[in-house]
Amino acid sequence: MAESEGSAARAADGSRASMSIGEVLAHLRADFPDMTISKLRFLESEGLVEPERTASGYRKYSWDDVARLTYILTAQRDHYLPLRVIREHLASMDEGRMPPGGGVSARPPLVAVDELPTAGDFDTGYGDARLSRAEVADRAQISDAQLRDLEQYGLVAARSGYYDADALEIAKVVGQLARFGVEPRHLRAYRSAADREIGLFEQVVAPLARQRGPEAHARAAETVRELAALSLRLHAALVQAGLRDQLGR
């Protein structure tokens, strides 16, 4: 029973529509740099993805929508499949059947729990959004009191009265950790560790950042993504090794 309830909770997380079209675009551009808002709207007009709409008419995407878009774009880029064939694949998957030919191997979004993120999951240009306090709490599914705790312990901070998309992502993760009884006060060590990593990685990236030109900037951004992915993998390995006795393995 507990396992089925956990599966239902994960399914609900995937289906919850909480991302704006701009946030989806920022996520997809890590793997599909040529992606545009116009193409997102085109795929919607073709009926391949159907984001929810707010009362004001704004699009709201879920992680299931992002996974669907990743599948579509991978099928186009890597397999040269026309939209007609992709539509057939999606229809098969919607009905719980295997797509013709086994389908397309598409990397799941960052929230997948069965594999660790790679460099492509990290977007260094993800902090341009301007979100109000109420928007952050609503999209992250946390209370205003929890958001105050995040600020108190240095996990997020408003800039000129607004929060960026990085603050929203932090709030979402903390909200998910809260389901396991982990509170913001427990996460002060993460802030300290992140600050130390930032200092270390700045030393690595600084020579590239000082160079001029878009190519040097692109190399610096890619280096940051690689470092972020490697850091997370190292952290996961260290935690797993430390808990091995507790896990009985």
- Which pLDDT does position 241 carry in this prediction? 83
pTM here? 0.49
Q: Which domains are assigned to the chain?
A: 2-115 (1.10.1660.10), 133-247 (no CATH)
Mean pLDDT of 56-83: 89
Summarised one tens digit per residue, pLDDT across range 149-170 is: 999 999 999 988 899 888 998 9
- CA–CA separation, 166 and 123 (whole Å): 10
pLDDT of residue 39: 92
Across 36-45, 108-117, 218-227, which has the greatest mean pLDDT? 36-45
CA–chain centroid gap for 2, Å, is 27
Per-residue pLDDT of 99-150, as tens digits, reads 766 566 554 444 333 455 665 556 544 446 788 999 999 988 899 999 999 9
